[in-house]
Amino acid sequence: MARQRGIIKLKGTIGDITFYKTQDGNLAREKGGVDGDRIANDPAFVRTRENGAEFGSAASAGKLLRDAIRPMLMSAGDNRVASRLTKVMTDVKNEDTTSARGLRNVGVAIVNPTAKAFLKGFNFNIRAILGAILFKPYNFTAGTGVITIGGLVPINDIAFPSGATHMTVRGAWARVDFATGQSEVQQTNAINVPIDATPNNMVLTPAAIPVGPGTDLHLLQIEFFQEVNGVQYSLKNGAYNALAIVEVP
């Protein structure tokens, strides 16, 4: 893979060279690789097929989680969250110690504490890490999903972006069944406060407890706004907003 330089950027295929644009810039690569039909049928590529099947399973698990929390993710996600989450789900999948190679999956692995540990602390917006924004400890209550932050003083306890005048804090309780593809999410109340020196005791309570089987994931989100003439506007389309999995009990 080579990077294109110069004024004119090519797109398409010339001879054996393919030119294309990615998030990393304009690139070029030589055509090649093994024929797809051979990979799908040749016994020599059985390991490749197994790896591909497991990768696809991990990617599907990541998509299931992203779809479940999409309303929150829309205001606090980066443009590579899909690939980053797939990598984590691959680590989770590897904790499946019972399925045959090529059949290992997140739905089986997620019951293991070591697998759950991979998901705890995952940030959906790499540009805004929760731990680098919130400097006040939070408490999580198992069974109720309530998250509390006592005595939060925004101007001292929050690393807020320039121009922000207000912030909103909310949580969520997601229950995702990675085996069946079902999910339910119950968001908490949202608390909006000005970024000043006023202490705030925040109690974030889920609207209800999700029903059905699945893995519980508890999330915490911080959004920033700028108030102009009494109206709060999101800063830079959510580039500064944080969303993270804080507990996977």
Distance CA 180, CA 209 (A): 19
Domain boundaries defined on the chain: 1-32, 36-119, 130-247
The model's confidence at residue 84, banded by pLDDT at 50, 70 and 90, is very high
**Residue 175 forms beta bridges with which residues?**
184, 216
> For 126-154, what is each residue's pLDDT tens digit?
999 999 999 999 999 999 999 999 999 99
pLDDT of residue 142: 95
> For 153-172, what is each residue's pLDDT tens digit?
999 999 999 999 999 999 99
Contact 119, 176 (CB under 8 A): no
The model's confidence at residue 49, banded by pLDDT at 50, 70 and 90, is confident
Phi then psi dihedrals of residue 79, to 5 deg: -80, 5
> For 179-212, what is each residue's pLDDT tens digit?
999 999 999 999 999 999 999 999 999 999 999 9
pLDDT over 90 (residue 25): no
Instruction: Please spell the DSSP secondary structure of 34-60, one letter per residue.
Output: --HHHHHH-GGGHHHHHHHHHHHHHHH
Q: Average pLDDT, whole number, for the chain? A: 90
Which tokens go with 58?
Answer: 């991990």
**Taken in order 143, 173, 175, 219, is the CA torsion positive or negative?**
negative
H or E stretch covering 225: strand 215-228
Give the CATH architecture of domain 130-247: Sandwich (2.60)
Phi then psi dihedrals of residue 13, to 5 deg: -125, 130
> For 219-228, what is each residue's pLDDT tens digit?
999 999 999 9
pLDDT of residue 15: 63
Distance CA 231, CA 213 (A): 41
pLDDT of residue 31: 63
